[in-house]
Structure 1
Amino acid sequence: MAKNYIVVTYQSAELFLEEYKSESQRLNNKVWKYEKDSESELTVALKNTNSTYQEALKKSWRSGGNVI
């Protein structure tokens, strides 16, 4: 049963990031950049919606969140 929760959580996060990307591109008239094929969806979202990736990481760690 625990495996099902992990799969559902992963799928939900993946769907959220896909919808977030679509909405962000539409609202900002900006196509997201992908530098590497191996980048995670979360990394791509952070890089394309914040002024700098490092700034996003710092903000998250200050608030107690875990970005990666």
Structure 2
Amino acid sequence: MSKKSYFDKNNEYLINWKSVILLKKYMTRFGDIKPRRFTGNSVSQQKKVRKAIIRARELGIIEYIK
């Protein structure tokens, strides 16, 4: 059973390093990035989420670990 992704072609632009609340939904409580099998994202969407989380971490907006 596959999960339905939040993103589609119309709202994929929301994946951004500045949207911290959205990015935290794709992280575990320990600060790890959730895998695709839990999020339901496609490969390209998951890559964009991962890239945005890494950029936010490097800028100090999101912590690496808790």
Q: TM-score, normalized by length of structure 2?
A: 0.31
TM-score scaled by structure 1? 0.30
| The structure with more radius of gyration | 1
